[in-house]
Amino acid sequence: MQGHVSPMLALVEVTRFREDDQAYHEYVQILVGRTIAAAERAGWRVTRLAAHDLGTDALLASTDGASAVVIMGGADIDPAQYGGTTGYRAEGQHFPEADRAQLAVARRAAERGTPLLGICRGHQIINVALGGTLVQDLGEHSAHRNEGVPVDESMTPHEVELDPSSALAFRLGARHLQVQSAHHQSVGELGEGLRAVAWASDGTVEAIEHRTLPITGVQWHPEDPGTVDDQLGLLLGGLAREAERAAA
């Protein structure tokens, strides 16, 4: 992080407008705001971008000069993007334009070797972008989301086990973590070049990383206020080091 101009971090969310679900929208603003604040503390110049609102071409143009990219959480990915079907349990609203735009950004990051971090939906975007699939629903009684409660109570704590040989375990300095999750889908078949590096006790894949590229996805929410330790700061710090290596 040397020099007078801070490196640019493109923070990509689904949309800035959710008039039909104000409570969820307000909660998303908290999570995005915490991520921006942590990134700025780590020395990043953050550019906040909404994939649905911009569209694919504008999002690609807006992220073109970024030193690294973070793709945030949000709505389920359109099943058409990974060969899935509609009508599954707990299916929510889809944002097909956001899907196309975020997938394009993830694929370009892989082509260029741009450091990329995906959180929750962003983790799933990475997998789908590289040819992987999703488990469409983990079931009503899974330990990954509180259902039937206000959105700000949907996060549930649980433990994950990390592969000790992974870059993620080194970055977080741990083999076991307590994390905050609120998801009903997960990574299925892995995309090209990806490997699973963290799992919940039920076997759900909780993190992925690329074997040769600076690409990491976590299914949990390190930006949630209830997170134990500074997981978000450690992830963003690792992203900064990857950006420095990529620029060298």
What are 5-15's pLDDT values in tens digits?
Answer: 789 999 999 99
Query: 188-203, pLDDT tens digit by residue?
Result: 999 999 999 999 999 9
Q: What angle is formed at CA 94 by the lines to CA 90 and CA 100, rounded to 5 degrees?
A: 140
Do 218 and 207 form a contact (C-beta atoms < 8 A)?
A: yes
Query: 156-176, pLDDT tens digit by residue?
Result: 999 999 999 999 999 999 999
Does residue 221 carry a catalytic annotation?
yes
Residue 2 has pLDDT above 70, yes or no: no
Choosing from 52, 123, 144, 221, which is the catalytic residue?
221
Residue 204 has pLDDT above 50, yes or no: yes
Q: Round to whole Å and give the CA distance between 118 and 194.
A: 13
Does residue 153 carry a catalytic annotation?
no
Query: 14-71, pLDDT tens digit by residue?
Result: 999 887 788 888 999 999 999 999 999 999 999 999 999 999 999 999 999 999 999 9
- pLDDT value of residue 230: 94
- pLDDT value of residue 4: 52
Residue 3 has pLDDT above 50, yes or no: no
The tokens for 217 are 């996805």
144 — pLDDT class (breaks 50, 70, 90) = confident
Compute the mean pLDDT over every residue in the chain, rounded to the nearest whole number. 94
Does residue 111 carry a catalytic annotation?
no
Choosing from 13, 209, 223, 242, which is the catalytic residue?
223
- pLDDT value of residue 92: 87
- pLDDT value of residue 1: 45
Instruction: Name all domains of the chain by residue range, CATH numbers in brackets.
Output: 8-247 (3.40.50.880)
Residue 94 has pLDDT above 50, yes or no: yes
Choosing from 52, 120, 144, 209, which is the catalytic residue?
120
With a pLDDT cut of 90, the percent of the chain lying above it is 85
Residue 131 has pLDDT above 50, yes or no: yes
